[in-house]
Amino acid sequence: MILDLKLEEQTAQPVLCIRTKTSIEKLPAAIGEGYGRIVKYMEELGVQPQYAPYTAYYNLDMNDLDVEMGFPVAEIFPDKDGIKARQIPQGKVVSCMYKGAYAEMEEPYKEIMKWIEDNGQVPTGVYYEYYFNSPQEVPESELLTRIVIPLK
């Protein structure tokens, strides 16, 4: 797999999000429930997402994942019922668009991490995935996910 990797400067992005711990088996349900709660809150506020929904991974322990799911929005809104308003920080990132099944995402991650090492970069330890469609909309082979890894 040869990815079209981009090294870019990312601007700060306000988001509405929920952070939780879960296992890899329970992750799809946690993401679905979290997105549903956030969408309901955005509807109450009368706001639209500014970009695709995301999940941020703060660790890669498949039995005890520390994840944040959310939506980029235009401005910071008040926290509500476990939904937090924060900003994804500005900074240097490496990113790519991946097309394929979620279960096969280990390969693009390996390629990105090799690129980071080969180019003398250091990841911050947080990994973002932005989802442009879902398994309910398209076959797994057509899933589009933007992987973004912030760098120190």
Tell me the per-residue pLDDT of 17-40, one tens digit each, with 9 for 90 and over. 999 999 999 999 999 999 999 999
Please list, residue by residue across 112-140, b when 16 or more beta carbons sit within 10 angstroms of its beta carbon and e when fewer do. Answer: beebbeeeebebeebbbbbbeeeeeeeee
pLDDT digits (tens, 9 = 90+) for 110-120: 999 999 999 99
Please report the pLDDT score of residue 3 as a whole number.
Answer: 82
Please report the pLDDT score of residue 139 as a whole number.
Answer: 96
pLDDT tops 80 at residue 147:
yes
pLDDT tops 80 at residue 1:
no
Sign of CA dihedral 88, 93, 99, 104: negative
Q: Write the single-letter amino acid at 73.
A: V
